[in-house]
Each structure stands twice: as structure tokens, then as C-alpha cells.
Chains A and B, each alone.
Chain A
């Protein structure tokens, strides 16, 4: 019988065919924790007297959520993480390296891997055709020590996307649209499998954005078949040999098929306080003033995202009442944008550039909202209190919509902006 990507990858690890619904014990290839979840994982292993890493070269402990540390309690958590890495030989990704999901994609993950991570957005790795899924500290701690975990093989929703985006519409708009369509629990316990000519043409960066937000529909993983784009991405990061082609079988069984025409999509925004509370730009009737724009994160902090924003802000002035915060997702992204002159342009525009990492996304530091303030962010969550204040309001959008808001001081249509700019340039 035909297999979905999830059934294929899990089956390769169990050494026998598996099908959706089965519970299996599988070896894990890569494990990750971050500074919000790593300390608990380490303490759980201490309780068991199991302070070891089965596969240290592919166990990565990140310090990215509160990096650099804003408080002594967190500095002490960081010490615990560094000591564990030292003791077990596990890899450490310290302050300044960047967000776990970006670095895992750049430097560790390969098609066909099983990755478990103590961070819900671990599903980002599905873009490289890895069964990448988020779990809690204890599950990942045990995974680190024993090199295995248990999984329920998920049923799969096939998301078939066809057609070309109109200018001003991006993969972020597509994933927000999908979550709005099926709901924040629309794919709970399921795997998503993205396919169709739109995703075949889509960059690795765009695919990472889609996989990243699979969990916002409740999904366990958001998978792509590996192809030439995957190969190019690995090559760019000097890992060509890690490439392997994996595709679902043509007769694979899907629980549900969702078809989306990309050419019909509009810039889409998630309104407070749930990700599925989406509106297209033309459904927004009133002016929504923006106090802070945040461009970055594992969702949209890559070179392509910063490039999109740069093209829009170039030669324009930031709205005087808007604060703009930019956080490159990784050191590599930071260096690339620096070398291309983007960082200078962003600084001249009036943006604050912060060290690679999660930045203000988790509400710990670096951009906590004031009472009643609105933030337009490229991140993946807009829950009440997410940015450190339950009285703040978070709107989610693409890097283009974010850049436009930094100029106009309100939520505005990036399409109009791009068209106007093009007309002006033609003149």
C-alpha cells in the first residue's frame, strides 16, 4: 500500500512498514533543546542518573530564547546548559548564534531524519523532508539519553497548492490563510504534507515558513518531499552529501486533501489573540495604528525575508511613531545581510538591529509591549501575553506587510505599495 512521507520516514526507522494510527518506538537522529526547556530536560535526566547523550554530535543545546540573558536566574540556567554540553559532549549553540530551528536547518538536519525538539516550532525541519516534531523537556531529555522515543504514526492531510502568488503575497500569507481556513486545531495530531506546483517552485526559505507554522494548526509535522531546492539549500550550507530524494507514493492514503489556489490569495493578517483569527487586507475597514514592527524569528527572519522588507523600505522614511526591531534568525543570515549592505540600510531607516536569536517573540526581553500597544510582527504566534504583556496586541503578517507598516504607521496593503513604487520607478 502507498505511503505518505510520514509513514515512509517512520517506517525507515522501525525497519518495517508502518501505517497511520500505530504506536511505535523509533531511534531519533537529532535532538534539540533551547534555554526555556533545556534546563528542565537536564534536571529530569539527573533524577534518572542519566546525564548522557547517546548521539552527542547530533544533540544540540541552544541558548536563543533569552540570549543574551536579561536576568541572573536565566544566566544560571545558561550555565547549567553549558555544563551539560561540556559533560556529555553535546553541541552547544550559544548567545549570538541564532534561533534553534534556523541553525538545525542550516547545519544539522537531512532528509529522512527524525528530529525531536523541546520547542513547538521544531516542525520547521519538515521543510527539509525530516520528520521534525516538538515535544516537552522530559520526552526530549529521554531522547537525548536513550537515542529513541515513542510516536504515534500520524494520519496526513495533503495540502495541494497551485498557481503563482500575485506581487505582495508571500508564503506567510499562504500559511496564515491555511490556518484561518482549518482553524488553530484543524490538524491536531495530524501530519501536513505540502505539495503542488506552487511549492515545487517555492524557495527553501518559503518552505521553512510554511513548515514552521504547521503547529499553529495543531499539526505534529509539516512535510515537503525533498527535491532539487532541498539539494540546493544543503549545498549552500556545504552539506551536499546530506541530500537524499524522498517522495510520497502516488497511491498514498490521505485523511483529507486541501486545495489552495495561490493566485487568489491576498495579503493576510492574523488578528489578536489567535493565529486562526485571520483577515485579508481588503477585509480590514478601520485604521489599525502600529506602535512596533518586529521583523525576524524562525518564521520570517531569513535572508529572503529581510530582502523583501529592504526592497520596500529603500529610499523611504520610517514613520516617526513606529519602532522597528529586526532580528536576523542566525549568525549566517546576519553576516549575509551585513555583506549585502542591508543592515546599514535598515539602521539608516531607523530600525534597531538585535543579536540573532528569538528576540521579543517569547515576551522575555528586547521589545515587550506597553499597555494598549499594537505590534505588527512576522512571528508565528499572537496569543494574549505572548510579547510579555497581556494588554498588548499582536498582529501577524508577512515581512512585506511589516515593512509597509513601518513606513505608514498602520496596517497597509503591500500590493498597493509595490505597484505605486513600480509606477514611480517607471516614471
Chain B
């Protein structure tokens, strides 16, 4: 699958509190409404301006903090095609795959706000069309590729009635 879109660049340590803040705890059972506030505390313009297919690009330790799965869920609901970062916090990484949001570990230093990216999930390659550079990303563990390809963990279990990850 080839993903294409524009970059929204964020910094180090984007916490799940910045993605889906505790002050909006009461919206967790209303995900479309919560998605209108996604990443609001990191970039107040993001939720209104993000276009379908765009990429969220962080630096290191993206998604640290709370286990709230609502964080990757509303990034996906906002239309984001994938999150790229130099590293991810463990629970966010796992949650993203479970909700069917690709998370790619790559060197994001040369990617800037507004760049056009093209991302080939099978080949493990990202083209920054603005900069005319190619970046490789670390392949996901096999178990996660399986869950992601099934469309997330709920779909995976629906399909097999059990874990079928080997």
C-alpha cells in the first residue's frame, strides 16, 4: 500500500496528554467529537487543517504517557495515514497497530512541516518528494504486520477467533 500526504511536524516527547488531554476525559465515549481536538495542545490549528492522508511526524519518544488508546484512535479518525518518529513509547506503538494506524520508525530529522511524502509500507521506504530524498524505516515485527494487515486487533480476532500471529 502506498500512502501519500503532507507532513505535520511535531517535537520530542509528544505525550498522550497532548494528543487526547485529560480535561476532555468526558469525550472519550464520543470519539468523533474528541477527534476535533486531536493534538490541540501541541498545535491548536492541526485538527481543523489536517487533510485526509496527511502524516504526523514526531521526533523521539512519540506517544509517551498514558495507555489511552483514544490517542492513536483519534489521530486515525482525523484522517492521518501514518505516524513517523525516531522512536515511539511502547504502549502507544502497540495501540496504534491495534487500531490499524501505521507507525513507522525512521530518522525524521530531515523531514519538515509541509513536506510531501510518499510511503510504501511493503517496501519499507519513504520518499520525501519535497526534498527529493529517500528514507528507510525499521520493519514492524511480524506479529504486528499481521494485526495491521487485518485492520487492527478487533478485526484480527473477528477473523480467527484467536491470536494468529506466527
User: Which residues of A are interface residues toward B (Cβ below 8 A)?
Assistant: 23, 25, 36-37, 39-40, 44, 47-48, 50, 65-66, 71, 73-74, 76-77, 80, 117-120, 122, 134-139, 142, 146, 148-150, 152, 184-185, 188-189, 215, 218, 220, 274, 362-364, 368, 381, 383-390
Query: Which of the candidate stretches B75-83, B116-124, B130-138, B154-162 sits at the interface with the other chain?
Result: B154-162
B40: shortest Cβ distance to chain A, in Å?
9
Does B28 interact with chain A (Cβ within 8 Å)?
A: yes
Are A48's CB and B61's CB within 8 A? no
Residues of B within 8 A of A383 (CB): 15, 17-18, 65
Q: Among A47, A188, A363, point to the contact of B22 (Cβ < 8 A).
A: A363
Are A385's CB and B98's CB within 8 A? no
A120–B158 Cα distance when bound, in Å, is 26
Residues of B within 8 A of A184 (CB): 13, 61, 64
Residues of B within 8 A of A139 (CB): 94-95, 98, 153
Residues of B within 8 A of A148 (CB): 163
Q: Among A25, A218, A362, A363, point to the contact of B64 (Cβ < 8 A).
A: A218
Does B41 interact with chain A (Cβ within 8 Å)?
A: yes
Residues of B within 8 A of A44 (CB): 154
Q: Among B30, B69, B163, point to the contact of A137 (Cβ < 8 A).
A: B69
A263–B108 Cα distance when bound, in Å, is 41
B121: shortest Cβ distance to chain A, in Å?
20
Residues of A within 8 A of B27 (CB): 73
Which B-chain residue is minimally distant from A386 (CB atoms)? B17
Are B163's CB and A386's CB within 8 A? no
Q: Per-position contact with A for B66-105: 1 when CB-CB < 8 Å, else 0?
A: 1111100000000000000001111100110011000000
Are B17's CB and A77's CB within 8 A? no
Q: Among B28, B89, B91, point to the contact of A77 (Cβ < 8 A).
A: B28
Are A74's CB and B26's CB within 8 A? yes
Residues of B within 8 A of A220 (CB): 90
Residues of B within 8 A of A389 (CB): 23
Are B22's CB and A40's CB within 8 A? no
Q: Per-position contact with A for B5-39: 1 when CB-CB < 8 Å, else 0?
A: 00000000101011001110111111000000000
B154: shortest Cβ distance to chain A, in Å?
5
A47–B158 Cα distance when bound, in Å, is 9
A142–B98 Cα distance when bound, in Å, is 11
A150–B21 Cα distance when bound, in Å, is 28
Q: Per-position contact with A for B27-66: 1 when CB-CB < 8 Å, else 0?
A: 1111000000000010000000000000000001100111
Q: A36-B25, A139-B94 are in contact. List 5 more A-B contacts (CB 8 A).
A: A37-B67, A73-B29, A135-B94, A185-B64, A390-B21
Residues of A within 8 A of B65 (CB): 120, 381, 383
A79: shortest Cβ distance to chain B, in Å?
11
A302–B65 Cα distance when bound, in Å, is 22
Does B1 interact with chain A (Cβ within 8 Å)?
A: no
- Known contacts: A363-B23, A383-B17. The answer to whether A150 contacts B61 by CB under 8 A is no
Q: Nearest 3 pairs between A and B by C-beta?
A: A363-B22, A136-B69, A136-B95
Residues of B within 8 A of A118 (CB): 67, 69
Residues of A within 8 A of B26 (CB): 66, 71, 73-74, 364
A384–B18 Cα distance when bound, in Å, is 7
Residues of B within 8 A of A137 (CB): 67, 69
Residues of B within 8 A of A387 (CB): 22
Q: Among A40, A47, A73, A142, point to the contact of B70 (Cβ < 8 A).
A: A40
